[in-house]
Structure 1
Amino acid sequence: MKDLKENDIVVSILCNTYNHENYISDAIESFLMQKTNFKYEILIHDDASTDKTAEIIREYEMRYSDIIKPIYQKENQHSKGVRVALINHERANGKYYALCEGDDYWSNPNKLKKQVDYLEKNPDCSACVHASLNVNAEGNKTIFKIRPSRCNKELSIQEVIKGGGAFVATNSIVYRRDMGSIRPDFYYKNKFSFGDYQLIILLTLVGKVYYLDEVMSVYRSNVPESWTSRNLLDTEKASNHFKEVNSMLDVVNIYTKYAYDDIIQETKQKNELGILIRQGKLREAKLGTHRNY
């Protein structure tokens, strides 16, 4: 690889975890099974888990201390309003960042190599993503595939905005450090309770995001204490979340000088419809512009 020395880290795997004792081993094993011709590091941030998650991570750290580099928080940072995702980012050394939460895992040992190979050959590409399975945490039964397209292709900004936060699986994202760090002020200044949707939008704005139509990871749904369980299974919290999403889209609209206003307004209307349905306001949902959905 160009401009890299023999001992340089090519990929930093960024893994955030909290009370994932039943899942964290799957995640770490899937990182360790990667077959690459380059070096990578595994950065794990444990946000003061109250179960055996930290204990399990320590066992792996003892065996693979050269590549597994954990942080063990004594107090939960998320509850203090800290943007936890940035903690691993700020200590990463890789040319590329690969994302995977502690309750998810990768399913293909060649995942990293395939994505890095593509990014190396296409310097104008900011990120490479792929298909993923969404499975139930209890029993691992497949619910559906997270599959943005039925073929390999470049994803457009319109598709990404309209697709929402679940359009691309977070654990499929590998992105270029130098492009991913080009973030407007609003990414940090606005305390949204999510970040993956913002990230993929920004990566699409600063470069090309390429999709590989191959399932190479697994996303678990209905994990106890996960962000989704805490925020989207409760009607009030889910409604507040979609209001936050719409606020974020307003800021993106300003940042892009309204270049994508049509698709942003359409997406906001769909989110507003989702809020009404969750609140049981079916009559209001059938009125006005919502009738189009």
Structure 2
Amino acid sequence: MNFVSIVVLTYNQENFIARNLRGIFKQKVNFPIQLILSNDHSTDATDQVIKELIKEAPSHIQILYTNHSKNLGSTPNFYDALKKVTGQYIAFCEGDDYWVDENKLQQQYDFLENNAEYAMCFHQVKNESSDPNLNNTNFSVIEEKDYTALEIYKHWIVHTTSVLIKTEVLENKIVKSMYKHPELLYFDTVLYMSASLHGKIRGFSKIMSVYTRHEAGLSNGINYSRDLMHNMLDEFIANLYGGKIKETSNWLIFSRSRIAFVKLLRKGNMFLAFKHLKWILKKRVNLKIYILKKLKSK
């Protein structure tokens, strides 16, 4: 029987990790689970909470818990966890997020088992936030259909908590290239896109997990320094794929840095503005397109 490895990354999430683990423990499945818990040297009580909670784990869940002796950083922590995967499929759930449907894993497992031409499936996710404009909204627009790597990249629709993917994807050339870059931000997107090299990718509109949006989250709020790291990721993706994905990447990099450059100039942050200007000049073909569009609209 095939089994599933679940990767949970956590760092200073003492207030969230309990519901994360309970959401995993309540899954109704007919297959064994390997739970890989990777604590990136939390300085709060995350370690103590985990050690208490894993005592509640059902017997069909084998737990591999690592509390790193030093902080690796989000991407190296992710890579380290992937090396420990032994299941035929991998699911993910960041330590501050959680699953709300007890049949989530079984439904996705059954789909991949019964449809060999698919390498990955994902589903709709609900936002949880103190901001009433975000709370209880959907993370993205997901239809019941197949998705291409370009759609996943262009619209940024796949949330980590929603994925079940074949482990064989870890062996492709794109993922192996990814391992050489511990500085990458939003590292999981490269992995999800690369599933298209192994088969089709299916989206489901059903909500089965929750994304917790809070101040300590990796992607929370406006951060122009983080945007520079995002540009590096987009450039990496462009060089790996080429074609339409590269065209999309170049436009995303230009647009992100154009907006940041204007905002930073207004704030008088010349140092950071100059860093974004370098990206704008690097993508000067898109600058010409942008100027032409602005002229035509007048």
TM range (shorter): 0.7 to 0.9
Superposed, 1:25-174 pairs within 5 Å as: 25-64=18-57, 66=59, 67=61, 68-78=63-73, 83-136=76-129, 142=135, 144-149=137-142, 151-163=143-155, 166-174=156-164
Question: Which structure has the highest helix share of the two?
Answer: 2
Deviations 1:179-200, CA, capped at 9 Å, x for gaps: 3332434222233233111011
Distance 1:54 1:88 in 2: 17
Report what 1:272 is aligned to.
254
Deviations 1:116-167, CA, capped at 9 Å, x for gaps: 0000011121111000012216789626312343x3111012212312xx32
Kindly tell me the number of residue pairs found equivalent between the two proteins: 271
Q: Say if 1:262 and 1:12 are closer, same or farther in 2 by CA, change over 3 A.
A: closer
Q: 1:65 offset after TM fit, Å?
A: 8.1
Structure 1 length as normaliser, TM-score? Answer: 0.83
Superposed, 1:197-208 pairs within 5 Å as: 197-208=189-200
Unaligned runs of 5+ in 2: 267-276, 281-285
Distance 1:72 1:62 in 2: 16
Distance 1:62 1:220 in 2: 25
2:232 to 237, 244, 250: 244
2:177 to 161, 164, 186: 186
Structure 2 length as normaliser, TM-score? Answer: 0.82
Give the secondary structure class of the aligned counterpart of 2:154: helix
Q: 1:227 offset after TM fit, Å?
A: 2.1
Report what 2:203 is aligned to.
211
Q: Say if 1:141 and 1:21 are closer, same or farther in 2 by CA, change over 3 A.
A: farther
8 Å contact from structure 1 (residues 30, 106) kept in 2: yes
Deviations 1:44-70, CA, capped at 9 Å, x for gaps: 111110111110000012333853331
8 Å contact from structure 1 (residues 131, 172) kept in 2: yes
Give the secondary structure class of the aligned counterpart of 1:144: coil
Report the identity percentage. Answer: 25
Unaligned runs of 5+ in 1: none
Distance 1:171 1:108 in 2: 12
8 Å contact from structure 1 (residues 103, 223) kept in 2: no
Q: 1:287 offset after TM fit, Å?
A: 5.8
Distance 2:235 2:161 in 1: 25
8 Å contact from structure 1 (residues 162, 264) kept in 2: no
Distance 1:10 1:118 in 2: 14
8 Å contact from structure 1 (residues 137, 223) kept in 2: no
Q: Say if 1:148 and 1:248 are closer, same or farther in 2 by CA, change over 3 A.
A: farther
8 Å contact from structure 1 (residues 269, 289) kept in 2: no
**More moved, 210-219 vs 188-197:** 188-197
Distance 1:242 1:289 in 2: 22
2:2 corresponds to 1:14: no
Q: Say if 1:117 and 1:137 are closer, same or farther in 2 by CA, change over 3 A.
A: farther
